[in-house]
Amino acid sequence: MKFLYKFCFAIACLFSFSANLSAQNKLPQLLIRLDDIGMNHSVNMAMEQVAKTGMPFSASVQFACPWYQEAVAILKKNPQISVGVHLTLTSEWRYYRWGPVLGKQAVPSLVDGVGYFRQSTGDFAKGGYKMDEVERELSAQIERAQASGLKITYIDPHMGVALSTPAMRALTEKLAHKYKLAISPLSTVSYFGETYLEMWGEPVATKKKAFLAYVSSKLNPTRPNLVVIHVAQMGPEMDALFDMNAGMMNTKEGKPLTSYHRQTELNMLLSPEFKIMQGKTFVAINYEEMLKGKDISVLKAVDGK
């Protein structure tokens, strides 16, 4: 009798597990992508906080930035994170700058008078960049990433630059083919059918509410739902960053607001409200999981909206 009871209990547990798994498989897929990883220590520490939740997500690393090696060390300890190269051709802060992996003499059309990447997308567009230099520099960033020991899954454009014109898009696709990588999209172009939402431009006061509302009731049930998020820990390092590219990231009086935006985006990912939704209103995935069974050798741009 005791054996029969245990057998029935085991069967019930198996059916319960199968039912839960089946229910989860029918839930919308949420594809969180954290951008600008490796930019500085504050951003890396924020990513590490999100990593400690165990949730699968994707991290786009700026391998041209000074703090990328710390990011690499964190990512090696967290296999639930898919890693991408955040292709970087701009350096948008007033005093905190970075330049090309290859050095200013190797790609002079990509830098300003002091050897840093230009500070806005407009300045880049008007700067007389040469496509052969863009290709060499972006290749060097990808190769630095691959040499780090991390598994690199995809590439995507910092501030949209690497997908900003037909020629830039064609080059990015060429690099994806060459290095056997996927491309994570912008709002206007997708390669694997992802929907797209970026929290960056949402005001601080409404950011968390807008994100939770989207995740709870607005996810597409038939397509992966990509949400691009910028996290950082608020502190002196972030508080000093004046954005030369986006006026909304500073007050009219010149006070930087980036620190508030990024801490708020970190808080919403760590919030109890978001945690309780996982497995109930969505299933969290990363690019590694999303791309299973897909042929990334055939890249075809589709409407990203």
pTM of the model: 0.90
Specify if 278 maps to a domain. yes
Residue 261 has pLDDT above 90, yes or no: yes
Specify if 122 maps to a domain. yes
What value does the mean pLDDT take over residues 26-33? 97
What value does the mean pLDDT take over residues 265-283? 98
19-28's contacts with Cβ under 8 Å and 24+ in sequence apart are 24/279, 24/283, 25/283, 26/221, 27/279, 27/280, 27/281, 27/282, 27/283, 28/219, 28/220, 28/221, 28/225, 28/281, 28/282, 28/283
Give the model's confidence band at 262: pLDDT under 50 very low, under 70 low, under 90 confident, else very high.
Answer: very high
Which of 205-219, 221-235, 284-298 bottoms out in mean pLDDT, i.e. has the lowest?
A: 284-298
Beta carbons of 279 and 53 less than 8 angstroms apart: no
Q: What is the pLDDT of residues 48-59, one digit of tens each?
A: 999 999 999 999
Structural domain total, the chain: 1
Specify if 9 maps to a domain. no
DSSP three-state, residue 99: coil
Residue 188 has pLDDT above 60, yes or no: yes
Residue 235, domain extent: 28-303
Specify if 79 maps to a domain. yes
Specify if 85 maps to a domain. yes
Identify the pLDDT of residue 304: 52
| CATH number of the domain residue 234 falls in | 3.20.20.370
Centre a 10 Å sphere on the Cβ of residue 171 and count the other Cβ atoms it contains: 20
Specify if 22 maps to a domain. no
Strand 189-190 versus strand 302-303 pairing type: antiparallel
Q: What is the pLDDT of residues 163-182, one digit of tens each?
A: 999 999 999 999 999 999 99
Specify if 78 maps to a domain. yes
Specify if 225 maps to a domain. yes
**How confident is the prediction for the chain on average, in pLDDT?**
92
